[in-house]
Structure 1
Amino acid sequence: MTALTQLSQAIHDAPRWHQEDQFQNPQEIKIVPLAGEALGAAVFGLDAKKAQSGETILRLKQALAEHLILIFKQQSIDDFQYLAFASYFGSIFRPSSDTPVLATQSDTGTPPDVVPVSNAVGQGDYTGYGELAPHADHQWTPLPSFGSLLYAIELPKDGGQTSWYNTIKAYDALDDETKQHLDTLQLITYNPFVRFQSNKGAPKDGGYGTFPKYRFKDQPVIGHAYPHPLVRTHPESGRKALWLNTHNEVELVNYDDQAGSELIAKLRDHILKPEFHYEHHWEQGDIVFWDNQATLHSRRPFPADQRRLLKRISLAGGRPY
């Protein structure tokens, strides 16, 4: 018999429903919106090690579509249990080998199912210790991930907080004339990992380094270009969201260079307004699950000599529309 993949092994080993001590009672789970915040809800009473009912998963999916991030408190799980839990919500994100992303492996051309987001574990460290600007994961791919889960295992004493930005609220706050104009536009987000390769590697602190935030037409194209709507429609709620990061190199399709650069700069400033923002102060055992289709996320820097280890699982998405 052939060896199982990591995901197959995780589901193979997952708790069976007939084992009552491993089945989660849906009545134990409470979902509490974050008071006064632009997005987010905390989930109490859920044990990610246990088998979950259809009622629970449907409820969590509906809560994610409404609140955009869910914070599961006080978890203690291994990689297989983490994968089994994440796979309730969708397929694991696996980009093609011609599209590098965070943690792409040299032998396979794809990332592992569970990615260390760390400065602490030696070989395989990713993202370093520096500030990470607001971004959506895998935005430069043909089929960006729909969401990600991040599990806190080791945390620094200082810094390292993660922020999320509600790009549905950012879109809703625009005037009608601006919305009508933006609804007709497509945006290309260029792959930062191709740029890193051309510059012989990413910065050691894990930041984005210095490369253009907008590509003018007289500049070379680095990597493949996948146009997506500047305003995307959420596939479950039908709400519209700005589909734009704040620092990666982008280009509006069939648009004047100077006007495009100015428009994107204005929208980036708009997204960063405090009323669209929530900052999460991590506690060990937190799992944060966010909707990548309608949020951006960023990270505060932390001291290089302090350990930080979180693990990320990303879930497959469809073509933005």
Structure 2
Amino acid sequence: MTSLTQLSQAIHDAPRWHQAEQFQNPTEITIVPLKDEALGAAVFGLDAKKAQSGETIYRLKQALAEHLILVFKNQSLDDLQYLAFASYFGSIFRPSADNPVLATQEDSGTPPDVVPVSNAVGKGDYTGHGELTPHADHQWTPLPSFGSLLYAIELPQNGGQTAWFNTIKAYEALDDNTKQYINQLQLITYNPFVRFQNNKGTPKEDGYGTSPKYRFKDQPIIGHAYPHPLVRTHPESGRKALWLNTHSEVELVNEDDQIGSELIEKLREHILKPEFRYEHQWEQGDIVFWDNQATLHSRRPFPSDQRRLLKRISLAGGRPF
């Protein structure tokens, strides 16, 4: 018999429903929206090590579509338990080798199932200690991830908070003329990792380094180009969201360079308004699960001599529409 992959092993070893001590009672779980915040809900009473009922997973999926972030407190998991829990919500994101992403491995051309988002663990560290600007994960791929889970193992004493931005609310707050104009536009987000590979370097800690923020037509195209809607429709709720990050190289399809770059700059300023933002103060044992289709996230810097280790699992998504 062949050896199992990490994900297959996680599901193979997962708690069984017929063992009462390993099964979570759905009535123990409550979901409470974060008070006075632009997005997010806290989930209380859930033990991610336990087998979960269909009722619970359906409730959580509904809550994620509504609130865009779910915060699970006081978790204690190894990597296999973490993978088993995440797999309730979808397949693990595995991009093709021709579309490098954070933590892409040289031997396989794909990232590991569990990515250390860290400055602390030696080989395999990713993202360092600097600021990370607002972005959606894997936006430059043909099939961007639908969501990610981030699990706090070690935290610095200062800094390192993560903020999320509600791009559904950002879209809804636009005036009608702007909405009408941008609804039919397509946006290409260029892969920052290809730019740095071509330069035989690695991305700086903001994720994008010296990449331009808009590609004018007289500039070379670096990497593959996948047009996606600038305004995408959420596949579960049907709500519309701006599908635009704040710093990486983008291009509007079939738009004049000057008009396009000015529009993108205006929309980026709009997304960053405080009324669309929630900042999470991490505590050890937190798992934050976010919908990558309708949010951006960023990170505050923290001292380089302080350890920070979180583990991310990303889930596969479909083609934006």
TM-score (norm 1): 0.99
The answer (yes or no) to whether the contact 1:202–1:208 under 8 Å persists in 2 is no
- For residue 199 of structure 1, report the CA deviation from its aligned partner: 2.5
Q: Is contact 2:113-2:313 (8 Å) kept?
A: yes
Structure 1: state its 5+ residue gaps. none
Following superposition, the deviation at residue 220 of structure 1 comes to 0.2
**Residue 87 of structure 1 aligns to a residue in which SS?**
helix
Deviation digits for residues 56-86 of structure 1 (CA, Å, limit 9, x no counterpart): 0000000000000000000000000000000
Written as runs of structure 1 = structure 2, the 5 A alignment for 1:1-321 is: 1-203=1-203, 205=205, 207-321=207-321
Q: What SS does the corresponding residue of 1:275 show, helix, strand or coil?
A: helix
Whether contact under 8 Å (2:193, 2:203) holds in the other structure is no
Q: Which residue identity is paired with 1:275?
A: E
Q: Quote the RMSD (CA, aligned, Å).
A: 0.7
**Contact 1:128–1:207 at 8 Å: present in 2 too?**
no
The aligned amino acid for 1:119 is: N
Which letter maps to 1:7? Answer: L
Residue 302 of structure 2 aligns to a residue in which SS? coil
- Unaligned 5+ runs, structure 2: none
Give the Å deviation of 1:100: 0.1
In structure 2, C-alpha distance between the alignment counterparts of 1:23 and 1:180, rounded to whole Å: 49
* In 1: Cα distance, 2:26 partner to 2:124 partner: 37
Aligned partners of 1:130 and 1:207 also within 8 Å: no
Structure 2: which amino acid aligns with 1:62? Q
Identity, % of aligned positions: 86
1:258-303, CA deviations, whole angstroms, 9 ceiling, x for partnerless residues? 1100000000000000000000000000000000000000000001
- Alpha carbons 1:170, 1:241 under 8 Å: kept: yes
- In structure 2, what is the Cα distance between the partners aligned to 1:212 and 1:317? 27
SS at match of 2:32: strand
SS at match of 1:66: helix
Q: Distance in 2 between matches of 1:134 and 1:199?
A: 24
Contact 1:128–1:206 (Cα < 8 Å) also in 2: no
- Write the deviation string for residues 33-71 of structure 1: whole angstroms up to 9, x where unpaired: 000000000001100000000000000000000000000
Deviation at 1:201, TM superposition (A): 1.9
Measured in 1, the distance between the counterparts of 2:69 and 2:2 equals 38
Give me the whole-angstrom Cα distance separating, in 2, the residues matched to 1:204 and 1:217.
25
Quote how far apart the aligned CAs of 1:207 are.
4.0
Asked if the contact 2:155–2:282 (Cα under 8 Å) also holds between the matched residues in 1, the reply is: yes
> What is the Cα deviation at residue 205 of structure 1?
3.8
CA distance in 1, matches of 2:208, 2:141: 17
Displacement after TM superposition at 1:198 (Å): 1.9
Partner SS, residue 215 of structure 2: coil
Deviation of 1:202 after TM superposition, in Å, equals 2.5
Contact residue 185 and residue 252 of structure 1 kept, 8 A: yes
Distance in 2 between the 1:320 and 1:193 partners?
A: 21
Instruction: Work out the number of aligned pairs and report it.
Output: 321
How far has the Cα of 1:142 moved from its partner? 0.1
Deviation at 1:206?
5.3
Asked whether the equivalents of residues 126 and 206 of structure 1 are also in contact (C-alpha less than 8 Å), the reply is: no
